Amino acid sequence: MSNLSADMLCENFAGIVPADDFLQKYLPRSRAEASRSEASRGEANRSEASRIDRIVTNASPQLAAAGEKVSTATDISAPLIEYLEKVVSDFDEQSRPLIHDTHKVVFPSVDDESTKQGYTKPDITVTQPGMKKAPTKWQWAYAGTVIELKHITDVFDDHDELNKSLASRKALVQLAKSARSLLMASGSCHVYVVSVFDKSWARIFRFDHSGFRATAEFNWITSTTIFPTFFYRLYNPPDRKGHIWGADDTVSVPTANEKTKMYKALRKNRFYVGLYPALKDATENSLWIKAVRFSVAPDGTRGTPQIVKCFTIGPLLWNAGGLFSRATRVFRVLIEEDIDHDTPTVYALKDAWRQECRRPEIDFYDVIAKYCADPDNGVDPSEVVSDTFERCHMRSLLTPVGAPLNGFKSTKSLAHAIQSAIMHHEIAFNAGVIHRDVSEGNVLFEEVVVSGKQPQGFLLDWDYAEFTEAGLKAYQKWFPERAAADRLYTSIDKSLKDMTGTLPFMAIAIIGNFATHGPHHDLESFYWLLVWMILRHTNHTHSEGSMACSNLFDHSGNSGIAMKRGWLQDRTPIGDKTSALFKLVDKLRKQVRHQNPGNDDPVDSDDSSDEQKVVHLTHGRVLDQFTKRMESDKWPKTDDPALDFVLPKALDQTENRAPSLLKNTLEQQARATGSAAKRRREEDSPAIASASSEGTTAAASIGSAPKAKKAKTTAGASGSWGR
């Protein structure tokens, strides 16, 4: 779960707006009115005003009764609910929500089992439109908005500044948690929550993935039109009966017949027959999501975009937890337009909110595809992986689907996957693109494995990538129309000086902000990724046992630099010295140490190079080590699959550790971005890789099919890699 804090919320607060202005700006009468004649707009306005006037009149007895009761009552929920129920009773049946007291109802966390941090109990829940009866088991997907009640506490002071009192800060965090749960459960573009305090005062809050805004306080008893107008517009968005304002209008629920049709198409693929043996397994929570697909010609030219209907299969592959973040969601999907194919392609659909100052991933994909399509560059496209701070909503449709690195079936397959990802990194760099965020979530296996072959790995998620100077020139040459609009994006020189990446895997020089981000820093990140996987998911022999990973990676700043430098100097084996994996890790350690020399570095007996000379990592030297070790016969003769990471007891009992190691999934840790002067953090995760193959922009999603049962790592586990 995202670690919401009052300080983080303060940084993303966009200000207070008078209630009437708030309703006019954020819940206007109609999005289509701009195209209507003035007379038509006037008629629509009069119609809505008449409807709201009628609601106000009809609900006036309940409002008067509420006014009398709240002046003496300690609990105002009952009179408030009675009033609001009368307000919504005038709505059409398909638009009408239910309103319930849920202050004693436990709402399950929207986070999965490995990341959740507890449950929530909103005081009053207003359901999604059209519900006929209250659910027997409440969950956030049923909620349209919530109302939080406070006896006195307002989150703002008399000067409309965020109140610094502990009670106010807690109240603000509670509102934000509810907003986050609504956003995650519904996939909405924005949501609204209400705070009622000191009995008769209220504020309406609007949250999206870039920040939040609130109304000025208003007296909901004497300001008789505000709640009726708010709830009427919220549940009656123009031209979308049965929906709520802020909902994504490109998403809909399939019928039973549509589910059957799409499941029949899915069963043409033998792999997915095994993964989803029953209709319910694949379609219980399916959605229709509109996206855009385009072909890539042999010369790398992008074809005409085609709007397609995507049918989601099974559970979400990834659902990011950040409130003010990219909020990445990744689905496994079939495309309705493809179901007549002999074997319809299964895609990964990435849905995210990109910062407008960042270049779209597709720019990097297209440059790499163009580069690969040039025969003079020596790349066979068929061998490449399967074919301001405002945020804009982006949706990418890519293939193939991927599986997480921490589900490796053998340590040799783990090494092979990282080797493949480094090859892809080299191709991208030669094309003029630097990835800048090599991490566990950004290196995946292909989900579908060819029998008898090592599973292929690949590098994904180019959200934080940047062009080199050569890459930018190629982009401007190949895509002049898009390049002309580049004033929006951060300059390359500034962007490459930003500290970008995922903390445990950052190169030492990047943690210290010592250098402009180069390809050698990403290569160092691949080394730290390999070490991370070994310390978390194998029976290593490090003397610190289950604490080894935390002790190395659970640090930032100067402390993080010192721990990594110390690791590079330590020649103590953490596995069987004769094993291919240990040899690989040790040889890479020496190369990384040469990139980060220090005055107190020891000299290895088999290493005569000058320790004080900086020797940057290169793709050639790193891949040479992988090639040598992959050809070795010193790998385990039988599979040695990944062990589940078990949180050490010493970490389980403290809240003062970095979130990367308090959670079982890497994606929970903060992603550091920004300049040295101001480092912004995004609580999100990577999602998709790219290339081109067989006429399709290719990539893979984060996430995987349900994992095979694995052995568990226990604290202090012993053993060796050479078994």
Cα 353 from chain centre: 9
Length of the chain: 723
Indicate if the pLDDT at residue 163 is higher than 80: yes
Q: Are residues 291 and 393 in the same domain?
A: yes
The verdict on residue 380 lying in a domain is yes
The verdict on residue 573 lying in a domain is yes
Q: Are residues 377 and 446 in the same domain?
A: yes
The verdict on residue 406 lying in a domain is yes
The verdict on residue 1 lying in a domain is no
Tens of pLDDT, residue by residue over 592-602, are 999 999 755 55
Q: Which amino acid is at 521?
A: H
DSSP letters along 99-114, please? EEE-TTPPBPPSS-TT
Q: Which of 535, 383, 350, 372 is nearest to 460 (CA)?
A: 350
Q: Are residues 50 and 132 in the same domain?
A: yes
Residue with tokens 């009995």: 199
What confidence score (pLDDT) does residue 75 get?
Answer: 81
CA distances from 45 to 41, 88, 92, 224, 614 (A): 6, 19, 18, 19, 70
The verdict on residue 706 lying in a domain is no
What confidence score (pLDDT) does residue 300 get?
Answer: 58
The verdict on residue 722 lying in a domain is no
CATH number of the domain residue 324 falls in: 1.10.510.10
Strand 212-215 and strand 13-17: the pairing is: parallel
Q: Are residues 568 and 635 in the same domain?
A: yes
Q: Are residues 74 and 106 in the same domain?
A: yes
437 against 2, higher pLDDT: 437
**Cα 108 to Cα 58: distance, rounded to the nearest angstrom:** 36
Indicate if the pLDDT at residue 691 is higher than 50: no
Tens of pLDDT, residue by residue over 9-44, are 888 899 999 999 999 999 987 544 434 445 555 555
**Strands, E assignment, 241-346:** 251-252, 288-293, 306-319, 329-335
What confidence score (pLDDT) does residue 689 get?
Answer: 29
- Structure token digits, residue 286: 């399916």
Q: Which of 504, 513, 462, 503 is nearest to 678 (CA)?
A: 513
What confidence score (pLDDT) does residue 665 get?
Answer: 35
- Examine the fold and report which residue of 248, 265, 294 is the final residue of a domain before the chain moves on: 248
What residues have CB less than 8 Å from 319, skipping those under 6 apart? 110, 112, 184, 328, 329, 330
**Containing domain of residue 323, as a range?**
256-698
pLDDT category, 627, cuts 50, 70, 90?
very high
- Structure token digits, residue 226: 């505000």
Q: Are residues 112 and 191 in the same domain?
A: yes
Contact 423, 623 (CB under 8 A): yes
The vertex-357 CA angle with 354 and 695, nearest 5°, equals 55
Q: Are residues 152 and 290 in the same domain?
A: no
Q: Are residues 478 and 495 in the same domain?
A: yes
Query: How many independent structural domains does the chain possess?
Result: 2
- Examine the fold and report which residue of 229, 248, 267 is the final residue of a domain before the chain moves on: 248
The verdict on residue 708 lying in a domain is no
Contact 133, 98 (CB under 8 A): yes
**Strands, E assignment, 11-94:** 13-17
What confidence score (pLDDT) does residue 704 get?
Answer: 29
3-state secondary structure of 11: helix
- Examine the fold and report which residue of 230, 248, 266 is the final residue of a domain before the chain moves on: 248
**Cα 465 to Cα 314: distance, rounded to the nearest angstrom:** 30
Q: Are residues 138 and 221 in the same domain?
A: yes
Residue with tokens 């990592």: 617
Q: Are residues 387 and 451 in the same domain?
A: yes
Indicate if the pLDDT at residue 535 is higher than 90: yes
The mean pLDDT of 250-268, rounded to a whole number, is 93
Q: Which of 636, 89, 716 is nearest to 408 (CA)?
A: 636
Q: Are residues 534 and 561 in the same domain?
A: yes
Q: Are residues 233 and 281 in the same domain?
A: no
**Cα 351 to Cα 319: distance, rounded to the nearest angstrom:** 10
How much of the chain exceeds pLDDT 70, in percent? Answer: 77
| Cis bond before residue 400 (omega within 30° of 0) | yes
DSSP letters along 446-498, please? ESS--TTSPPPEEE---TT-EE-HHHHHHHHHH-HHHHTTGGGSPPHHHHHHS
What confidence score (pLDDT) does residue 263 get?
Answer: 97
Tens of pLDDT, residue by residue over 179-220, are 999 988 888 889 999 999 999 999 999 999 889 999 999 999
What residues have CB less than 8 Å from 401, skipping those under 6 apart? 317, 332, 346, 347, 348, 446, 447, 448, 700, 701, 703, 704
Indicate if the pLDDT at residue 542 is higher than 80: yes
pLDDT category, 575, cuts 50, 70, 90?
confident
3-state secondary structure of 213: strand
What confidence score (pLDDT) does residue 104 get?
Answer: 93
